[in-house]
Amino acid sequence: MKKKILWGLLAVLVLAAVGFFGFAPGIVEGSMNKVVPVKLTRPSEAAKQLHASLQIADMHADTLMWRRSLLERSNTGQVDLPRLLEGNYTLQVFSSVTKTPKHQNYDANGADTDNITLLTIAQLQPPKTWTSLLERSLFHARKLDRAAAGSNGKLRVIRTAADLDLLLADRATGKKLVGGMLSIEGLQDMEGDLGNLDKLYGAGFRMAGMAHFFDNDVAGSMHGMKKGGLTPLGRQVVARMEQLGMIVDIAHSSHETVAEILAMAKRPVVSSHGGVQATCKVNRNLTDDEVRGVARTGGVVGIGYWDAAICGTEPANVVRAILHVRDIVGVDHVGLGSDFDGAVTTGWDSSQLIAITQGLLDAGLSVDDIRKVMGGNVLRVIRAGIVPGR
């Protein structure tokens, strides 16, 4: 009788483990990265022709955080290689998310809890990633490398200006391929050691935000408890990033941190994903003065597609934010920063990006300006930014 009970308990534990490791990650992602379709204008022939000729670049997607193949089309989430190809992307920047607080919100979060630890265990990631934020980012870098290696040349990892130039040249001949570049969402993954920034650079990371949803030992977050500025380590980090050829990203940074970065930056700065307060009054969005500051560095503001960034999920909301940035600093300083797969709900996925091209045409933008907004500006800044400094 005791043996039967033990075997029964073991069976229950096995089934529970199978459910946890096999199904929980997909269920979690499915509840977060939603596409709730909105009514999209049927693309005109002019939009189709223009969209097919664009060099499209998006500065932020969190796809590497989730346990699904980049190479296979999925009904979950918003990004994978087949959908990027269908959307005619030239470059997608993939971010490494290493830590998020429980009960995450835009107003105030402590650094004492972490949702990602359980996710790394549930996804059966290497045990090192269970305890080390640095190892989580290095795992994400290997994941992108493996995807590129298995893509039959359709996905290339971009680390140098020469890589980007070759990608553009090959696409100009009609080859169907996409570049992927690595970014970091919050430099807590340095684990307080400036030397780890060089390790991250060596793994392929070419862009990084100082903070994510909580204050860290580099900088204050817009969503942290204190919302302070750069720490002494943070100032060292900004200088070292510019020297290495890593683009500084102010998304999620506190207003104080943003001001300090813009004051010390010697190279173009980006806001990889978000919105502007003038069209959507949310604390994480940029003020007009901050937009002007990014433009003064020669950088780009990436506009996202989710409600808290643009106060809606229609293409018109994206276009409205883009037009505002254009109106105050010029069309050379605005681009795309979807935050796809970043636990956001959007009205379309990456395969349907022509909706933005159509929206910009409907708003009266010239073809040349649309080329800049849809990718030209971002590609210009990335190419310049990943060349090591002097």
Instruction: Tell me, yes or no, whether 148 lies in a domain.
Output: yes
Q: Which domain holds residue 111?
A: 45-385
- pLDDT at position 20 is 47
Say how many Å lie between the first and final Cα of the chain, rounded: 75
Sorted by sequence, the CB contacts under 8 Å of residue 299 that are 6+ apart come out as: 268, 269, 270, 271, 333, 381
Instruction: Tell me, yes or no, whether 266 lies in a domain.
Output: yes
Contact 45, 361 (CB under 8 A): no
For residue 314, count other CB atoms closer than 10 A to its CB: 18
Handedness of CA 73, 30, 21, 64 (dihedral sign): positive
Structure-block tokens of residue 61: 């997607």
Of 203, 209, 215, the C-alpha closest to 238 is 209
- pLDDT at position 333 is 98
Confidence class of residue 32 from pLDDT cuts 50, 70 and 90?
confident
Instruction: Tell me, yes or no, whether 347 lies in a domain.
Output: yes
Each residue of 12-25: b (16+ CB within 10 Å) or e? eeeeeeeeeeeeeb
Instruction: Tell me, yes or no, whether 1 lies in a domain.
Output: no
Residues 271 and 80: their CA atoms lie apart, in Å, by 23
Residues 350-380 have pLDDT tens digits of 999 999 999 999 999 999 999 999 999 999 9
Instruction: Tell me, yes or no, whether 379 lies in a domain.
Output: yes
- pLDDT at position 200 is 98
Contact 332, 377 (CB under 8 A): yes
Alpha-carbon dihedral angle through residues 229, 389, 93, 107, given to the nearest 10 degrees: 0
Instruction: Tell me, yes or no, whether 38 lies in a domain.
Output: no
* Structural domain total, the chain: 1
Residues 289-326 have pLDDT tens digits of 999 999 999 999 999 999 999 999 999 999 999 999 99
- pLDDT at position 31 is 67
Contact 232, 219 (CB under 8 A): no
Structure-block tokens of residue 368: 């040349």
| Domain at 198, CATH number | 3.20.20.140
Decide which of 27 and 189 is more confident: 189
Q: Residue 57 pairs with which residues in a beta bridge?
A: 91
pTM for this predicted structure: 0.93
Instruction: Tell me, yes or no, whether 32 lies in a domain.
Output: no
Instruction: Tell me, yes or no, whether 370 lies in a domain.
Output: yes
